[in-house]
Amino acid sequence: MEKGFTITYEYGENLYVNTTNRCDYACTFCLRHNPSSGGSIYNDNLWLSREPTRQEILDSIEGWDLSGYKQLVFCGFGEPSYRLDDICWVIDRLKERGKKIFTRMDTNGTGCLIHGRDVCPDFAGRFDMVSISLNTDTAEKYNALCRPRFQDAYEAMKDFAREIQKYVPTVMMTVVDTISPEEIESCRKICEEEIGAVYRVREYIRD
């Protein structure tokens, strides 16, 4: 394997796809900013020496027996929305070849800002689930925690969570259990009552 070129990797019962280092956030908690992490808790090194082509992504996925995994998850070490067009191409090729697997994207929810257009329709018929990082309950806290490049990223993320439900069967929003119980409850109300998505509190996994 080419050094610094891990495209696909196993974690739990799923196969994960790492497509880019690019990210429009500089989250205070991200392993990207921890030089001792070597890349990720899930893999020895997910920092890509270069971005894989769409064909290389497809070839890497097809190098595994997909019947052995519950989900194919586009996640990795950057924001996958940057490679949305290529990811959609890959999923289309897999479907054309009769490959059946539950597909998910883990995202910060700013794909529309990244591409300057409404990307939600692109998910239709391709993704079974989208998981969006809600992280916290106010824009002020969000900006301090995630340090997004785009202005109004918090509201854009919530708008994406509302709109994407028209195109994807399951939309989940997540927080990590390092925030207070009060904040967890406030985020639950935002997710379930304001947006209408599935809510999940994730356990923080130390590197």
Domain boundaries, the chain: 8-202
pLDDT digits (tens, 9 = 90+) for 56-95: 999 999 999 999 999 999 997 899 999 999 999 999 999 9
Mean pLDDT, residues 89-104 taken together: 97
pLDDT digits (tens, 9 = 90+) for 116-128: 999 999 999 999 9
Tell me what percent of the chain is helix, strand and coil, each rounded to the nearest 5: 35, 15, 45
Q: Which residues contact 65 (CB under 8 A, 6 or more apart)?
A: none
Buried b (16+ CB within 10 A) or exposed e, 61-80: beeeeeeebeebbbbbbbbb
Neighbours of 183 (CB within 10 A): 16
The tokens describing 57, both together, are 């992504």
Residue 43 has pLDDT above 80, yes or no: no
* Cβ-contact 104, 153 below 8 angstroms: no
**Cα separation of 135 and 133, whole Å?**
5
**Cα separation of 86 and 110, whole Å?**
17
* Cβ-contact 147, 140 below 8 angstroms: no
**Looking at the domain that runs over 8-202, which CATH code has it been given?**
3.20.20.70
Residues in the chain: 207
pLDDT band at 47 (very low <50, low <70, confident <90, very high): confident
